């Protein structure tokens, strides 16, 4: 679920960021496009100049050094890489231009003006000193030497730079575009051999993003609609995969919290894994709570029944002693007092058994136990029985819990089968389990009693002080260790006597 939400947010966040990144790239593309157009115009003007001046050579490339040619063909200006130079200082009057250069420039002035009418670029021709000899503006005769691009061209190297531009009344507002306040300047030298004969200087402001976007409104609207549909689809997907399954789980959980027994509807296969796991966990929790509630109700009923009998006997004996004690013989008073003592002793056994059962229900697994030494120690604590131990295995259980279980089973055998009974404890390792079979040669259990053998307070030795909690405590201890305790079915032939308890624990 976290992954799905993270991906959804990242996608939604990336959309405007991607658009912003693309916008920045597009601004650089507009600058490079302007530079490329200026280079093409400069090349045409340089070729025209060479023809007008009669300079030998077939092309502009033949008049450039290898370093200058490499510079001319470089990948162009970049807003992210190239610095933006400050506004050019006001030019000052220059010296007298070279006469033959000035004469050739005068003949080419109409070409410059016609070119400007189409390209909107500012065009100038400079003599080798950097003096403007022809211009589409009003700066003819001014000296531009000292500018970075002009100085590079005077050295025979073409140069393109970015400069801040003057603000005029017709400027496009900057807005989100960085190109509105910039101007691309290109200086291209025209060489006669190794000598710079003239410099073609051009400049133009690149188109702004706002100007470009204005003509793309339908396409931008289509992209915006597509983005909105994508966000809506992501929201619908998140709702289907997360919200609806969780709503169903929350409704069922509220019914359970209110005391109901709601069954969770099956989670759709398309739901996220966490929602399915939560639904399954709440279903298991509901079943556990219902089972626990049923267990507590049954236990409360059994406790009230077991306590009612000795309490009634004690109450009757106490009332008789209180009302007729003076007229009773010593033997009668002793008999009633013994009844009260027996009731107190039984209640004490019941309370201690309930405490042991509660501890067993809360017992947790853990530890390692070698089963044979524990079985032999339990046999020594039951000298009235003939106990034999076979086999060995190590179980993942607390040794104290295993010892308590064995003591309970041997005590149960002694109570029902009597002293001198034979008990066989067989231990074995089966795959990833440790198994103990505790069998005796007593009278065994009838089918009806076998079905209730592990119910709390069920006993057939009540007159001998049995509480019916021994097997329930033993089963709870084994369950706390992650195992099972069950009554093995009788032999089909019916020839074997006694009962067999099967204990299965996880192997260490």
Contact 506, 432 (CB under 8 A): yes
Say how far apart CA 423 and CA 35 lie, in whole Å.
Answer: 104
Return the H-helix or E-strand segment holding 92.
Answer: strand 92-93
Instruction: Indicate the DSSP class of residue 241.
Output: I
pLDDT of residue 174: 42
pTM, entire model? 0.44
Pairing type for strands 386-390 and 422-430 reads parallel
| pLDDT of 143 over the 90 cut | yes
pLDDT of residue 192: 86
Contact 334, 359 (CB under 8 A): no
For the chain, the helix, strand and coil percentages under 3-state DSSP, each to the nearest 5 = 55, 15, 30
Q: In this structure, what is the dihedral angle of CA atoms 237, 239, 241, 243, given to the nearest 10 degrees?
A: 170
Say how far apart CA 243 and CA 249 lie, in whole Å.
Answer: 10
Cβ contacts of 211 within 8 Å, gap of 6 or more = 172
pLDDT of residue 461: 55
| Helix segments in 147-272, DSSP class H | 148-154, 209-214, 217-238, 244-257
Mean pLDDT of 171-191: 70
Of the two residues 312 and 5, the one the predictor is more confident about is 312
pLDDT of residue 175: 42
Say how far apart CA 34 and CA 179 lie, in whole Å.
Answer: 11
Distance of CA 186 to the CA centre of its chain: 54
Say how far apart CA 481 and CA 367 lie, in whole Å.
Answer: 9
Instruction: Indicate the DSSP class of residue 243.
Output: I
Q: Which of 122-126, 256-260, 262-266, 498-502 has the lowest mean pLDDT?
A: 262-266
Q: Which of 206-210, 327-331, 334-338 has the lowest mean pLDDT?
A: 206-210
Mean pLDDT of 263-274: 65
Say how far apart CA 448 and CA 440 lie, in whole Å.
Answer: 19
Say how far apart CA 181 and CA 417 lie, in whole Å.
Answer: 107
Q: Which of 133-137, 315-319, 422-426, 435-439 has the lowest mean pLDDT?
A: 315-319
Say how far apart CA 190 and CA 366 lie, in whole Å.
Answer: 93
| Helix segments in 258-272, DSSP class H | none
Of the two residues 222 and 201, the one the predictor is more confident about is 201
Token pair for 182: 């910039």
pLDDT of residue 88: 85
3-state SS string for 9-66? HHHHHHHHHHHHHHHHHHHHHHHHHHHHHHHHHHHHHHHHHHHHHCCCCCCCHHHCCH
Which pLDDT band holds residue 268 (cuts at 50, 70, 90)? low
pLDDT of residue 233: 80
* Cα dihedral 364, 366, 371, 376 sign: negative
Q: Which of 176-185, 292-301, 359-368, 379-388 has the highest mean pLDDT?
A: 379-388
Which pLDDT band holds residue 63 (cuts at 50, 70, 90)? very low
Q: Which of 81-90, 242-251, 428-437 has the highest mean pLDDT?
A: 428-437
Q: Average pLDDT of the chain?
A: 78
Mean pLDDT of 170-191: 69
Mean pLDDT of 314-328: 85
Q: Which of 22-36, 59-73, 215-229 has the lowest mean pLDDT?
A: 59-73
Contact 309, 279 (CB under 8 A): no
Distance of CA 478 to the CA centre of its chain: 38
| pLDDT of 288 over the 50 cut | yes
Task: Please identify which residue in the block is written with the tokens 């990242």.
Answer: 10
Instruction: Indicate the DSSP class of residue 458.
Output: -
**How big is the CA angle at 401 (ends 398 and 407), to the nearest 5 degrees?**
140
What values do phi and psi take at 312, rounded to 5? -65, -40
Q: Which of 184, 181, 163 is CA-nearest to residue 172?
A: 181
């Amino acid at each position: 679920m976290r992954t799905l939400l993270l991906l959804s947010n990242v996608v939604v966040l990336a959309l405007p960021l991607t658009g912003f990144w693309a916008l920045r790239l597009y601004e650089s593309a507009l600058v490079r496009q302007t530079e490329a157009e200026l280079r093409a115009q400069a090349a045409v003007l340089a070729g025209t100049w060479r023809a007008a001046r009669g300079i030998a050579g077939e092309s502009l490339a033949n008049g450039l050094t290898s370093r200058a040619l490499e510079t001319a063909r470089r990948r162009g200006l970049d807003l992210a890489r190239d610095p933006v130079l400050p506004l050019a200082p006001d030019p000052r009057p220059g010296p007298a231009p070279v006469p033959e250069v000035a004469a050739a420039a005068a003949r080419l002035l109409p070409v410059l003006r016609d070119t400007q009418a189409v390209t909107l670029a500012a065009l100038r021709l400079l003599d080798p000193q950097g003096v403007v000899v022809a211009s589409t503006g009003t700066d003819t005769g001014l000296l531009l030497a000292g500018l970075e691009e002009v100085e590079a061209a005077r050295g025979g190297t073409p140069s393109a730079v970015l400069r801040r531009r003057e603000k005029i009344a017709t400027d496009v507002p900057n807005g989100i575009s960085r190109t509105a306040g910039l101007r691309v300047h290109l200086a291209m030298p025209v060489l006669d051999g190794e000598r710079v004969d003239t410099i073609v200087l051009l400049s133009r402001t690149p188109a702004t993003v706002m100007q470009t976007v204005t003509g793309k409104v339908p396409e931008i609207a289509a992209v915006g609609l597509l983005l909105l549909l994508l966000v809506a689809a992501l929201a619908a997907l998140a709702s289907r995969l997360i919200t609806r399954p969780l709503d169903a789980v929350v409704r069922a959980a509220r019914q359970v919290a209110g005391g109901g027994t709601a069954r969770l509807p099956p989670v759709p296969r398309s739901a996220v894994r966490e929602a399915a796991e939560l639904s399954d966990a709440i279903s298991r929790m509901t079943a556990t709570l219902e089972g626990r509630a049923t267990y507590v109700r049954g236990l409360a009923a059994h406790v009230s029944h077991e306590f009612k009998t000795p309490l009634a006997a004690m109450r009757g004996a106490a009332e008789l002693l209180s009302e007729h004690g003076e007229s009773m013989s010593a033997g009668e008073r002793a008999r009633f007092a013994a009844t009260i003592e027996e009731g107190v002793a039984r209640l004490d056994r019941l309370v201690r058994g309930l405490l042991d059962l509660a501890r067993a229900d809360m017992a947790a697994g853990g530890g390692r136990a070698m089963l044979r030494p524990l079985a032999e120690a339990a046999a020594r604590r039951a000298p009235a029985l003939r106990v034999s131990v076979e086999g060995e295995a190590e179980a993942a259980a607390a040794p104290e819990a295993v010892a308590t279980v064995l003591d309970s089973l041997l005590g149960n055998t002694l109570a029902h089968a009597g002293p001198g009974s034979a008990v066989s404890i067989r231990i074995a390792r089966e795959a990833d389990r440790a198994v103990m079979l505790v069998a005796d040669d007593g009278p065994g259990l009838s089918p009806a009693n076998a079905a209730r053998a592990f119910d709390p307070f069920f006993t057939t030795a009540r007159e001998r002080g049995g509480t019916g909690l021994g097997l329930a405590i033993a089963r709870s201890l084994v369950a706390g260790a992650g195992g099972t305790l069950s009554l093995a079915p009788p032999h089909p032939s019916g020839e074997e006597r006694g009962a067999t308890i099967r204990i299965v624990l996880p192997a260490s």
